[in-house]
Amino acid sequence: MPSQRRREIASHRRLETAAVVGAAVLAAALGLELAFALDRSEGWLVIGAAVLLGHLVADLVSGLVHWSFDRIFDEGVPYLGPHFVRPFREHHLDPTEITRHDFIELNGNTCIAAIPVLGATWLALPPATGHTGVNFSVAFVVCLTVWTVLTNQFHQWAHQAAPSRWVRLLQRGRIVLSKEHHAEHHVPPFDRRFCITSGVVNPVLDRLRVFPILEWILRRPGSAGRLTS
């Protein structure tokens, strides 16, 4: 491996490590602020609704990101290409490689994306206001971000030959992505089942042909989109 490539990998590894720590600190800080701000009578309702909605939206976001990296963006795009697009493309060549990634390599990129969201939430929407709407907004952002950050972990579990019993329980409950459901994505031409947090949104998107329609739009003459698959 060329020395320049090794330096780039080492530099990105340091960035990923810092992002994992930073995202965890910000999420914990927002969670504590929220815990002190929530009224006991509204707390369970706010948190429950935020967890559920965050779970669904995270699954949708995972599908949009997965689809765009699989089929839209070019690997030559600066920074985005080598660190985000290429791993998605290579995943189809060796689907089990993800099971050999450590925690930082697996979750670092999603934490990098989470930092600006959590940071902006901390600055713009302080939860200790006593207003239910603001509290719900903060709870939703935190839950959405946590579900999204954990998506690659769920993806890894879906490729493990023998995940633990409690992981299988979560998979059977459709709380996290199951091996059986995700296997349908790894069938050529790899054009369905893009959502990888839990996969619960996939049947709707596939039935409505959302991604093929988006690709058709991007193929139209004069479109700014660039398909690479």
Query: Does residue 37 register a pLDDT over 90?
Result: no
Query: Does residue 224 register a pLDDT over 60?
Result: no
Which position has the higher pLDDT, 217 or 148? Answer: 148
Average pLDDT of the residues in 183-193: 91
The CA distance from 55 to 58, in Å, is 5
pLDDT digits 0-9 by tens, 45-60 = 888 999 999 999 999 9
pLDDT of residue 90: 83
pLDDT of residue 227: 44
The confidence band for 221, taking pLDDT boundaries of 50, 70 and 90, is low
User: Could you tell me how far CA 74 lies from the centroid of its own chain?
Assistant: 20
pLDDT digits 0-9 by tens, 104-158 = 999 998 999 999 999 998 887 655 556 777 788 888 999 999 999 999 999 999 9
Average pLDDT of the residues in 53-70: 95
Query: Does residue 175 register a pLDDT over 70?
Result: yes
The CA distance from 83 to 18, in Å, is 16
Query: Does residue 220 register a pLDDT over 90?
Result: no
Which position has the higher pLDDT, 220 or 183? Answer: 183
Using only C-alpha atoms, the chain has a radius of gyration, in whole angstroms, of 19
Which position has the higher pLDDT, 39 or 59? Answer: 59
Contact predicate 7/13, CB 8 Å: no
User: Could you tell me how far CA 3 lies from the centroid of its own chain?
Assistant: 31
The CA distance from 77 to 55, in Å, is 30
pLDDT of residue 229: 38
Task: Kindly give, in sequence order, each residue whose CB lies less than 8 Å from that of residue 31, ignoring residues fewer than 6 positions away.
Answer: 142
pLDDT digits 0-9 by tens, 1-14 = 567 778 877 888 99
The CA distance from 199 to 91, in Å, is 18
Query: Does residue 161 register a pLDDT over 80?
Result: yes
Which position has the higher pLDDT, 123 or 225? Answer: 123
